[in-house]
Every structure is written in structure tokens, then in C-alpha cells.
Amino acid sequence: MFLHHLPSIFYISFVIRISYLFKTADINMIRSKAIDLIKTFNEEEFRQFGLYTESPYFNRELIQVKFYELLKKYYPEFKARTFTKEQVYSKLYPGKTFNDGIMRNILSKTLELAENFLAIKQFRDDEFNHSLHMLQAIAKKGNDKLFGKVEVKAAGLLEKSQVKDEMYFLNLYLLNNEKRLFSKNQKSSLYFPDELLKSSTESISLSFLIFMLRNYTDIANTNLKMFRFEEHASLTEFEKYADSEVKKYKDTEYLQYYYYSFKLAKSQDEKYFFEL
């Protein structure tokens, strides 16, 4: 009777053993913030991260380049049974005794590289801010000709913006302010500081108005009680300010839209709906 059940017993034992081995392998796999972040990279980002890691300007530790080459084998899942600290270490340092401290340092440096890579990528992908920072750097060098060239590029990028919202006007302020400071500090005749000061003031005012109206509208739409029962002096003063300022910018669509949205949310008067 017992012998009759031996095949089943051996099979169950085999399954349990295999499950244990896979579970153990999963537990031993490298787990770190660096790997969690790199998992989110698409193929192009992962490729660019490799170029970034290989650049002596950003990384001078050759072991990090070697580690990236190993990561290629495991990307994007990083779930192979051989993806353990011990086995990866043995490939990085053949013949040497495993040192957990060194592996931790490699992973820590990898996280630092990955974070900096994303920051630089984000910076470069934002063409306007890239040009703005370039302007600031060139201004310190006092090069009129090059400053003018980069400024034209930045202005062109800004004008391509399809949405003239608070960020558009904030960027316009930042650009005009850089031009004004350059003219003032370099005593350059490239721009007229008085006109730029006026333009900068107008831009930052529009940015502030749209930002505040957008936020007050969101608050009103999610918590009408705030306006019905908790209307306070600062809100009343802001509304008065908005009522007077918005009239000056009738052609600024985003400002008009959020102004009437704010008035509608606050008063629930449908007449403001038809102004939208």
C-alpha cells in the first residue's frame, strides 16, 4: 500500500524542492533603489543611460561602466536567477572574495548616476529652460553677439507655446528679466531696460493672476463651503484685485477663462457660465 504511493510522494517532494529553489533565488536577487529606478527606463532611456555612464565627464569609475554592461543582460525585468550580488560581484571581480560593502557602493553610485541622468535629460528636453540657462551663462561672459543669438532662439521657442498660461507668462518674465539684467550689467545697447522692465512687470502680474485664479477655482469646485461659510478677508481682497486687473488684459484668453471660472465657482451665478 505504501509502495503504491511512492511515485506521488517523490513527485510532491520534487515540486516542493523546485519551488523552494525558485523562491530562494528570488529572495537572493539584487534589490535596490537603483534597480527599481532603472526598471522604469524605456529602451532608448536605458541606451542613453549607458552613454551617460560611459562619459568621463559624468563618471570616472570604470567599474560603473562594467556594471552597466552587466545590467544589459538582465534589463528590463532584472529577474534572472543569476542576478544576485554574489554572482554579479564574481563577474565584476573574477577570483575575488565577495564583499557586500563594495557591491553596496556600486549600487549607490548607480542610483546617483541614474538620478543625475534623469535630471539632465529633463533639463535638455525642456528646450526653453535650456536656452534660458545658456543665456545666464553667456551673460556672465559678457558676449553681446552670442547673447542676442541665443535670446532670439529662446523667444522663438516661447512663442511656439500653444497654451498661454501662467507658465508661459512666467517664462516670458524670466526671459525679459535676463535681457534687462544683461543690458544693465553690460551697459549694452542691445535692449531698452525701461521697456523690458514694463514688459517683465506685466508678464509676472499675468502669471500671478492666472495661477491664483486657477487655484481658487479648483478650491471652489472641490469645497464650495469654503466660499459660502469661510470667506475671509484675503479672498475678498484678491477678488477685488482680480476684478480691476483682469479688465486690463481682455485679449488674454487664459486669464479671462479662469477669471470667469473663478466667479462662477464662487457665486454659482450662471451669467458667468455664458462668459466662458
Question: By mean pLDDT, which of 104-118, 141-155, 188-202 is the weakest?
Answer: 188-202
| Alpha-carbon span 212 to 240, nearest angstrom | 13
Which residue in 151, 160, 153, 159 sits closest to 191, CA to CA? Answer: 151
State which amino acid sits at residue 100: D
Residue-level pLDDT at 169: 96
The residue ranking higher by pLDDT, 14 or 113, is 113
Domain boundaries, the chain: 7-124, 127-275
Question: By mean pLDDT, which of 8-22, 115-129, 158-172 is the weakest?
Answer: 8-22
147-190 tens-digit pLDDT:
999 999 999 999 998 889 999 999 999 999 998 888 877 765 55
**238, burial (CB in 10 Å: exposed 0-12, middle 13-18, buried 19+):** middle
The number of C-alpha atoms within 13 Å of 212 and in the hemisphere containing its C-beta is 17
Question: By mean pLDDT, which of 8-17, 122-131, 144-153 is the weakest?
Answer: 8-17
Which residue in 102, 116, 153, 140 sits closest to 34, CA to CA? Answer: 116
Residue-level pLDDT at 112: 98
